[in-house]
């Protein structure tokens, strides 16, 4: 039941889905809804309509005041947090989405990158509590990430810090939606897992027969979550694919640790729902590739606690930051739990 306290609405706009929810001051979700993302080739206005429709549903569910709407977008957000400069998995290019939504909704709107919003949520309410230098990496359709330092989200000079998925890990490797080749997310993400599974199934190998059962034998229908389901059931081919993605995850995390020296690494996003099937190969490769291994502390790699709702919860809580209910420089360890 929706409480009478002031609530905020968070909206997480990803490459495949839009999730909106009513969130209270403790980070608890009291109502939520989901829509499919229209697609990368769809006009930006169509995505905007989906967001407005989802927010309207949440406003109708609220029995008390709503402070505003937080939007976590899967893309590059400008330094003034008014515009989505570029979204590799959406049709947004220099979209002034914050002001347009504020005008249509009649509420304050806070815009941020979805991974930055998720990192804030994990810092405030999840696996990153009490950590002064938190690194979050999100694995979904692509890879996002963010760094929270001393209770502040690091956004970079131009607002583009944390686009870890577009680090080049394989020179002249797989083509990426961002326009470059060999980006990390082409080897460790839901899309990478889907691509590799389809290639395996297209070979019509008996080795992949168990995995084929999850998509009725049609390679075009296989999705990343099918691989996760099959791996949990012990399917050998799916476990191999999961291990490949996990090891690439470890390679990228070791590179980030060399540059950023985090105290804790939290892995979130839809792909992370595989848990230790993904994280154990990542930890093993991380330990093997870490610069100065054997002579430095090794940051623990933990699963995110807030699951696929982290971006939405964080976006909602950032509305409270803008409203002055708490500061981004809040003391470490505040929040639920």
Residue 272 binned pLDDT confidence (cut-offs 50, 70, 90): confident
Supply the pLDDT for residue 334: 43
Q: Check residue 41 and give its pLDDT.
A: 57
What's the CATH fold of domain 7-121+307-322? Nucleotidyltransferase; domain 5 (3.30.420)
Q: 118-157 pLDDT, tens per residue? A: 999 999 999 999 899 999 999 988 898 999 999 999 999 9
Where exactly are the structural domains of the chain? 7-121+307-322, 130-303
- pLDDT greater than 60 at residue 43: yes
**Residue 80 φ then ψ, to 5°:** -85, 0
- Picking from 200, 202, 204, 187, the residue whose alpha carbon sits closest to that of residue 244 is 187
Secondary-structure percent of the chain, ordered helix, strand, coil, rounded to 5: 40, 20, 35
Whole-prediction pTM value?
A: 0.87
| Dihedral angle over CA of 22, 70, 153, 40, nearest 10 | 110
Q: Which CATH architecture has domain 130-303?
A: 2-Layer Sandwich (3.30)
Check the CA dihedral 23-42-160-81 and report its sign.
negative
d(CA 57, CA 305): 26
pLDDT, tens digit, 9 for 90 and up, residues 141-198: 889 899 999 999 999 999 889 989 999 999 999 999 888 999 999 999 999 999 999 9
Residue 327 — pLDDT band, cuts 50, 70, 90?
low
């Amino acid at each position: 039941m929706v409480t009478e306290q002031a609530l905020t609405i968070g909206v997480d706009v990803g490459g495949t889905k839009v999730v909106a929810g009513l969130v209270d001051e403790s980070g608890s979700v009291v109502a939520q809804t989901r829509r499919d993302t229209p697609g990368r080739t769809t006009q930006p206005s169509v995505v905007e309509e989906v967001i407005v429709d989802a927010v309207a549903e949440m406003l109708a569910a609220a029995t008390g005041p709503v402070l505003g709407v937080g939007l976590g977008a899967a893309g590059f957000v400008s330094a003034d947090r008014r515009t989505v400069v570029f979204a590799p998995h959406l049709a947004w290019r220099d979209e002034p989405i914050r002001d347009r939504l504020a005008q249509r909704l009649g509420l304050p709107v806070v815009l941020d990158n979805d991974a930055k919003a998720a990192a804030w949520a994990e810092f405030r309410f999840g696996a990153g509590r009490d950590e002064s230098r938190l690194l979050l990496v999100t694995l979904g359709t692509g890879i996002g990430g963010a760094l929270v330092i001393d209770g502040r989200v690091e956004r970079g000079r131009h607002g583009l810090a944390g686009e870890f998925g577009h680090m080049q890990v394989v020179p002249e490797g797989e083509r990426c939606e961002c326009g470059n080749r060999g980006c990390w997310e082409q080897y460790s993400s839901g899309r990478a897992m889907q691509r590799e599974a389809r290639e395996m199934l297209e070979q019509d190998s008996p080795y992949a027969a168990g995995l084929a059962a999850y998509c009725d034998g049609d390679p075009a229908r296989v999705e990343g979550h099918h691989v996760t389901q099959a791996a949990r059931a012990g399917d050998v081919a799916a476990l191999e694919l999961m291990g490949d993605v996990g090891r690439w995850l470890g390679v990228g995390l070791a590179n980030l640790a060399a540059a950023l020296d985090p105290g804790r690494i939290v892995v979130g996003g839809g792909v992370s729902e595989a848990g230790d099937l993904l994280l154990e190969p990542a930890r093993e490769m991380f330990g093997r590739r870490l610069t100065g291994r054997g002579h430095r502390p090794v940051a623990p790699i933990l699963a995110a606690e807030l699951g696929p709702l982290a971006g939405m919860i964080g976006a909602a809580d950032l509305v409270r930051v803008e409203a002055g209910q708490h500061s981004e420089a809040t003391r470490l360890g505040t929040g639920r739990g």
